[in-house]
């Protein structure tokens, strides 16, 4: 295989588009089974309480109720979690956040069950509520999980060089603190799952909106105390996930499975949007303190980073999320002396876990902001400060890993973005307009409420108040799981004797376009046209455990597995042709457009379906299981040193904004996104990833925030939780810089998360450029820009309720 | 849970030629005079339980139903008629996932009581196909990748149809305004815009022919 492709890198239509545009695609809530029951959850209105008693007497004899399920019905593990088992399927002693579920009612009608659930009497005693992660760490703080000695979930230190010497050697030092908010995934499909008892005793089938069927299977099996093989998890069409349909769905699946096994009937759980936002985990809010020392020429000598992540009520993925933070916290800069400490702590807030970006958007916002501050202090442009410090081939990361065996093309990525956007000239021009230094020009006193009332011309004739700004951010990202755990994936290809193919992979289609990407990989190797390929749904009973579909690893790992399987089959077919056509063993064939050709002495050609028929007749196996395993990586927990990830990708985004100085409103006019995903497999899909990541990143930058008011969430639906609409973001322009890599199919690596992680940082820098003033707290909504602080909710009343 | 990846071969009712009558719901009309008393009895029972009769025309098929008055149009479409292409995402009139056409106007079906849709023409995503042939808007969404996970897609396509029914050559701004009531968390928005622009072109070509 060389770099001339017949289909890789082209614009290919989505394999599942027909089913999706016709409304025929079956998502979990579109699927029903005969005899199916429903379950509804029972909660109490408390963020931290001791459960004293539960009284079912008013519901137990109601004809509308079929069964009540609580912790006493759990045959196996009552506590689950991906790393630390601290989250109950049903609470039994305590409630630690308002999303917690105490029991569930099963019956035939959801409306009836919702009426009945109010009659379950739960007596509880309120406990002190911890909302501030800094307070959680204080010595005599109440323990959220008394089985652990303190509220610290994890602490990752990283030590490189000599931090004191680094600061002593510097000419300038900047120290700043940044904060980010809780962010909801807001996958457009709310959670739904059905558990169906199987004919074989002690076995259950789960069909649901599940991001990671193998993780789900593990949780369900441990809760039911069944062998893994007795739990079959099938992913329904998934209506978006972004890291969100993992823990929550595994727990919902376990609840449904207990219900199904006890009633002997299929049990469906489906959440409303309010329940979804109430119970599901969020992206971690971080408090990030950065201290940076640099020489007068801009070279950074030391970086000291202190990060506190609010893990909320359960540990969930916090240990892995914060691990990525500790690896990447310095940004893509080679710094001799680094000291990083990242801590995740328990609070009674909604729990936090995996979300697209996974511990990278927060530190990137902080480090890229402070890099701009450093540039301004040194009187150089933001691109220049980065050029003087950023990784090149052979650079050493903060964890002491040498960047090698792949194209470290960050400077090329940066230069492309700077050139395409005309960054330098625009930045200098906007930065020089100092007369509009801040909103203070209006002489507003924020203590005087009247002065905040805008006059008519402030918004009608707002040209006077519109300011332009441009900002950039760069990032690097470790591909796949890294030292988090085992990293391997499987794919099964089965050619039929007419040349059609089915493909099954252990990783999931979550809407990101994996079906299409993996089909392209198989089609490229075998020379098939895509209409010959049928992609089968992920099913834990049909394919080996391939780990979760996370960490932007599916193209890299799944693609690698598909390619391995396809190459194995192709090798068998080539050997057959060598024998049939009496060729030399090293004969070279081309497989393309459903034909196989040999151009050596005396050209020969056979159609692919004839070749498959021939192989079948000769008893040659036309199917293969491909396995792709990432190389080993290492990490030292004490020093934070090691080869964290086996390869990396690089990106740069430039945002151009208009800031309304009278209202604090920011509009993103243009966003240029330059990424090096290694190799683009489907150009159409890759562009879609950029649009999605950038827009979600814009939401993170400007609007999205879950407020936890004593643990209770105010924004329970899209009337309050604002996600971007079609009109909210201006023009997004993706560019791809390809780079060689020995891993993944033809060097294809990661794209999904890299597109999101740096957008907020680029926008924040553009706002800084426009306003002449730094804003430290995401989101940069009207309050933050106008008042420099967030007005917290005083009541939980719904705006539209 | 069959394969979802390829265009599915399926037979659809031939409803396009005219309005047929289908009766579903909690009672069944059996032909023959002798059964009428049974029907009346069933109907009386339903009325006693607070249910009300509803005549609904969906995708040119007439349905006679007995429903609880608080049932929304979205619930009837999904739960009674099994037209699950219409999605309930926020159930709060915010996201557009449940968008259907009511007499040619886009509405949020989660915000309308089904009884208020009686005798009006409802079009859902299922009504756009002709046999297996995609509607030009659907075709444009496929070709311009106007979707990712696909959950909001039926609502997006119906919203696009409502725009194009009113204005065959909308500007970019008009499209964005018209589509801004339909949330897409995958944020395929730039491709949705391209899809609607392309669909406008296909539809104009179609009428010019």
Strand partners, A641: A636
Question: At which residue do the structure tokens 């799981």 appear?
Answer: A481
Look at residue B29 and tell me if it is in a domain.
no
| Torsion sign across C-alpha atoms A679, A684, A689, A695 | positive
The residue among A13, A4, A9, A17 whose CA lies nearest residue A530 is A13
The answer to whether the Cβ–Cβ distance between A718 and B90 falls below 8 Å is yes
Q: What is the pLDDT of residues B37-70, one digit of tens each?
A: 777 777 777 777 789 999 999 999 999 999 999 9
The tally of CA atoms less than 13 A away on the side-chain side of residue B118 is 13
Look at residue B12 and tell me if it is in a domain.
no
Residues B120 and B158 in one domain: no
pLDDT of residue A547: 95
Q: How many CB atoms lie within 10 A of CB B55?
A: 14
- Closest CB to A727: pick one of B84, B128, B180: B180
Residues B140 and B90 in one domain: no
Residues B69 and B118 in one domain: yes
Residues B204 and B136 in one domain: yes
pLDDT of residue A454: 59
pLDDT of residue A485: 81
The answer to whether the Cβ–Cβ distance between B142 and A513 falls below 8 Å is no
The answer to whether the Cβ–Cβ distance between B148 and A717 falls below 8 Å is no
The domain of B91 spans 52-127
The answer to whether the Cβ–Cβ distance between B187 and A724 falls below 8 Å is yes
Contact A254, A80 (CB under 8 A): yes
- Closest CB to B183: pick one of A25, A31, A725: A725
- Judged by DSSP in three states, B206 sits in helix
Q: What is the pLDDT of residues A743-788, one digit of tens each?
A: 999 999 999 999 999 999 999 999 999 999 999 999 999 989 988 7
Residues B91 and B116 in one domain: yes
Chain B residues lying within 8 Å of A510, measured CB to CB: 149
| Residue B5 or A465, more confident | A465
Q: Is B160 on the interface with A (CB under 8 A)?
A: no
Residues B193 and B173 in one domain: yes
pLDDT of residue A683: 97
Instruction: Give 10-residue mean pLDDT values along chain A (801 residues).
Output: 81 97 98 98 97 98 98 98 97 97 98 97 97 95 96 98 98 98 98 97 97 98 98 98 98 98 98 98 98 98 98 98 98 98 98 98 98 97 98 98 96 98 97 61 51 58 80 97 90 98 97 97 97 96 96 96 98 97 94 94 93 98 97 95 97 96 90 97 98 98 93 93 97 96 96 98 97 94 85 61 35
Question: At which residue do the structure tokens 């009006």 appear?
Answer: B120
Cβ neighbours for A94, distance < 8 A, ≥ 6 positions apart: A48, A49, A50, A51, A127
Looking only at the bridges linking them, the beta strands covering B121-123 and B99-102 are antiparallel
Query: φ, ψ for residue A59 (rounded to 5)?
Result: -115, -25
- Judged by DSSP in three states, A365 sits in helix
- 236-275 of A, contacting B, C-beta below 8 A: 236-242, 272-273
Residues B135 and B204 in one domain: yes
CATH code that applies to domain A31-127+191-270: 3.90.1170.50
Q: Which CATH number belongs to the domain containing residue B82 in this structure? A: 3.10.20.30
Look at residue B188 and tell me if it is in a domain.
yes
The answer to whether the Cβ–Cβ distance between A511 and B153 falls below 8 Å is no
Look at residue B194 and tell me if it is in a domain.
yes
Looking only at the bridges linking them, the beta strands covering A623-629 and A488-495 are antiparallel
pLDDT of residue B36: 66
pLDDT of residue B35: 61
| Torsion sign across C-alpha atoms A254, A256, A262, A266 | negative
Residues B123 and B151 in one domain: no
pLDDT of residue A486: 87
Contact A265, A35 (CB under 8 A): yes
- Judged by DSSP in three states, A320 sits in helix
From the CA of A794, how many Å to the nearest CA of chain B?
Answer: 23
Looking only at the bridges linking them, the beta strands covering A286-294 and A172-179 are antiparallel
From the CA of B76, how many Å to the nearest CA of chain A?
Answer: 13
DSSP states along A67-100: EEE-GGG-SS-SEE-SSS--EESS-SSEE-STT-
Which ranges in chain A are annotated with CATH 3.30.365.10?
Answer: 17-25+488-629, 286-453+460-481+637-787
**Burial class of residue A135 (count of CB atoms within 10 Å of its CB; 0-12, 13-18, 19+):** middle
pLDDT of residue A455: 61
- Closest CB to A691: pick one of B150, B177, B188: B188
Contact A22, A16 (CB under 8 A): no
Look at residue B123 and tell me if it is in a domain.
yes
Q: For residues A615 and A630, what is the distance between their CA atoms, to the nearest angstrom?
A: 32
Q: For residues A220 and A76, what is the distance between their CA atoms, to the nearest angstrom?
A: 9
The answer to whether the Cβ–Cβ distance between A511 and B152 falls below 8 Å is no
Residues B101 and B133 in one domain: no
User: Which two three-digit tokens encode residue A472?
Assistant: 């950039």
Contact A329, A367 (CB under 8 A): yes
What is the interface pTM, i.e. ipTM, of the complex? 0.96
DSSP states along B84-121: TTS--SSSSSSS-TTEEEETTEEEEGGGSBGGGGTTSE
| Torsion sign across C-alpha atoms B96, B99, B105, B111 | negative
The residue among A691, A702, A695, A632 whose CA lies nearest residue A667 is A702
Residues B74 and B99 in one domain: yes
Residues B194 and B153 in one domain: yes
Cβ neighbours for B49, distance < 8 A, ≥ 6 positions apart: none
The residue among A249, A268, A736 whose CA lies nearest residue A508 is A249
The answer to whether the Cβ–Cβ distance between B1 and A207 falls below 8 Å is yes
Res B84 pLDDT > 90? yes
Q: For residues B175 and B167, what is the distance between their CA atoms, to the nearest angstrom?
A: 10
Which ranges in chain A are annotated with CATH 3.90.1170.50?
Answer: 31-127+191-270
Q: How confident is the model at residue B15 (pLDDT cuts 50, 70, 90)?
A: very low
Q: For residues A453 and A39, what is the distance between their CA atoms, to the nearest angstrom?
A: 49
Mean pLDDT throughout B4-22?
37
In the listed set B64, B97, B127, which residue is the last one of a domain according to the structure?
B127
Q: Which CATH number belongs to the domain containing residue B187 in this structure? A: 1.10.150.120
Q: What's the total number of domains in chain B?
A: 2
Q: Is B188 on the interface with A (CB under 8 A)?
A: yes
- 48-67 of B, contacting A, C-beta below 8 A: none
Q: For residues B133 and A410, what is the distance between their CA atoms, to the nearest angstrom?
A: 46
Q: Is A687 on the interface with B (CB under 8 A)?
A: yes
Q: Which CATH class is domain A286-453+460-481+637-787?
A: alpha beta
**Structural fold of domain A17-25+488-629:** Aldehyde Oxidoreductase; domain 4 (3.30.365)
Contact A510, B149 (CB under 8 A): yes
Look at residue B16 and tell me if it is in a domain.
no
Chain B residues lying within 8 Å of A186, measured CB to CB: 185
Residues B112 and B141 in one domain: no
């Amino acid at each position: 295989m060389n770099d001339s492709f017949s289909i890789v890198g082209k614009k290919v239509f989505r394999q599942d588009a027909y089913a999706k545009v016709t409304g025929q695609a079956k998502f979990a809530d579109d699927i029903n089974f005969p005899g199916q029951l429903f379950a509804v959850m029972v909660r109490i209105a408390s963020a931290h309480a001791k459960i004293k008693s539960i009284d079912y007497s008013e519901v137990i004899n109601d004809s509308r109720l079929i069964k009540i399920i609580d912790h006493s019905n759990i045959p196996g593990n009552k506590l689950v979690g991906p790393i630390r088992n601290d989250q109950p399927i049903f609470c039994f002693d305590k409630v630690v956040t308002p999303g917690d579920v105490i029991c569930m009612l099963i019956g035939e009608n959801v409306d009836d069950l919702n009426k009945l659930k109010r009659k379950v009497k739960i007596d509880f005693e309120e406990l002190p509520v911890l909302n501030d992660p800094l307070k959680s760490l204080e010595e005599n703080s109440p323990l959220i999980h008394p089985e652990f000695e303190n509220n610290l979930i994890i602490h990752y230190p990283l030590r490189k060089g000599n931090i004191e010497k680094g600061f002593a050697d510097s000419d300038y030092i900047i120290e700043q603190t940044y904060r980010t908010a809780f962010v909801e995934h807001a996958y457009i499909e709310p959670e739904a799952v059905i558990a169906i008892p199987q004919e074989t005793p002690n076995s259950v089938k789960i069909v649901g909106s599940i991001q990671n069927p193998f993780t789900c299977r593990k949780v369900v099996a441990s809760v039911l105390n069944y062998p893994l093989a007795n739990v079959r998890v099938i992913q329904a069409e998934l209506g978006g996930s972004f890291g969100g349909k993992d823990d929550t769905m595994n727990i919902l699946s376990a609840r449904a499975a207990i219900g199904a096994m006890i009633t002997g009937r299929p049990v469906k759980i489906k959440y409303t949007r309010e329940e979804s936002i109430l119970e599901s985990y969020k992206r971690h809010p971080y408090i990030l303190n950065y201290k940076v020392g640099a020489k007068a020429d801009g070279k950074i000598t030391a970086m000291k980073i202190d990060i506190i992540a609010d893990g909320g009520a359960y540990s969930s993925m916090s240990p892995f999320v914060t691990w990525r933070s500790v690896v990447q916290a310095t940004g893509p800069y080679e710094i001799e002396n680094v000291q990083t400490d990242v801590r995740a702590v328990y609070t009674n807030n909604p729990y936090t876990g995996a979300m697209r970006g996974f511990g990278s958007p927060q530190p990137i916002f902080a480090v890229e902001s402070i890099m701009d501050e450093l540039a301004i202090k040194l009187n150089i442009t933001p691109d220049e400060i980065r050029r003087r410090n950023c990784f090149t081939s052979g650079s050493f990361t903060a964890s002491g890993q040498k960047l090698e065996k792949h194209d470290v093309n960050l400077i090329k990525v940066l230069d492309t973005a700077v050139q395409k956007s005309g960054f330098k000239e625009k930045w200098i021009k906007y930065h020089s307009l100092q007369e509009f230094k801040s909103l203070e020009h209006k002489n507003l006193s924020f203590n005087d409420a009247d002065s905040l009332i805008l006059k008519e011309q402030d918004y009608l004739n707002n040209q006077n108040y519109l300011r332009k700004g441009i900002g950039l951010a760069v990032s690097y990202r470790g591909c796949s799981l890294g030292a988090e755990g085992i990293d391997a994936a499987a794919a099964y290809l089965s050619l039929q004797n007419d040349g059609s193919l089915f493909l099954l992979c252990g990783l999931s289609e979550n809407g990101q376009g994996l079906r299409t990407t993996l089909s392209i990989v198989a089609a490229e190797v075998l020379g098939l046209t895509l209409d010959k390929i049928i992609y089968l749904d992920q099913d834990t009973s049909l394919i080996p455990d391939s780990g979760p579909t996370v960490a932007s690893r599916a193209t890299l790992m799944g693609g690698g597995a598909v390619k391995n399987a396809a190459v194995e089959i192709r090798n068998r077919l080539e050997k057959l042709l060598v024998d049939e056509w009496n060729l030399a063993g090293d004969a070279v064939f081309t497989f393309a457009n459903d034909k196989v050709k040999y151009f050596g002495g005396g050209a020969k050609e056979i159609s692919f379906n004839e070749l498959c028929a021939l192989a079948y007749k000769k008893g040659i196996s036309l199917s293969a299981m491909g396995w792709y395993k990432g190389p080993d990586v290492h990490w030292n927990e004490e020093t934070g040193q090691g080869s964290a990830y086996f390869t990396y990708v690089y990106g740069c985004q430039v945002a151009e904004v208009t800031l309304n100085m009278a209202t604090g409103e920011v509009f993103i006019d243009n966003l240029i996104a330059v990424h090096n995903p290694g190799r683009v497999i489907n150009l159409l899909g890759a562009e879609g990833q950029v649009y999605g990541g950038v827009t979600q990143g814009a939401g993170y930058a400007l609007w999205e925030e879950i407020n936890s008011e004593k643990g209770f969430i105010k924004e329970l639906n899209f009337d309050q939780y604002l996600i971007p609409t079609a009109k909210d973001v201006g023009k997004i322009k993706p560019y791809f810089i390809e780079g060689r890599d020995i891993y993944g199919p033809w060097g294809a690596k990661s794209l999904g998360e890299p597109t999101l992680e740096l957008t907020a940082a680029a926008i924040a820098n553009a706002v800084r450029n426009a306003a002449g003033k730094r804003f430290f707290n995401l989101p940069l909504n009207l309050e933050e820009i106008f008042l420099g602080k967030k007005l917290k909710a005083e009541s939980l009343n719904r705006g539209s309720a | 849970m069959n394969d979802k990846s390829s265009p599915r071969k399926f037979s659809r009712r031939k409803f396009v030629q005219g309005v047929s009558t289908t009766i579903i719901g909690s009672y069944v009309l059996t032909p023959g005079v002798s059964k009428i008393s049974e029907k009346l009895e069933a109907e009386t029972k339903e009325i006693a339980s607070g249910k009300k009769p509803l005549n609904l025309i969906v995708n040119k098929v007439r349905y006679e139903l007995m429903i609880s008055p608080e049932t929304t149009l979205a619930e009837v479409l999904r739960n009674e008629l099994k037209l699950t292409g219409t999605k309930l995402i926020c159930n709060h009139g915010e996201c557009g996932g449940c968008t259907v056409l009511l007499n040619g106007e886009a509405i949020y079906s989660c915000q309308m009581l089904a009884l208020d849709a009686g005798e009006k023409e409802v079009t859902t995503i299922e009504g756009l196909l002709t046999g297996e042939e995609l509607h030009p808007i659907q075709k444009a969404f496929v070709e311009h990748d106007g979707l990712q996970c696909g959950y909001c897609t039926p609502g997006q396509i119906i919203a696009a149809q409502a725009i194009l029914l009113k204005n065959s050559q909308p500007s970019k701004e008009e499209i964005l305004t018209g589509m801004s009531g339909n949330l897409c968390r995958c944020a395929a928005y730039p491709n949705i815009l391209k899809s609607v622009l392309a669909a406008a072109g296909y539809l104009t070509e179609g009428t010019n022919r």
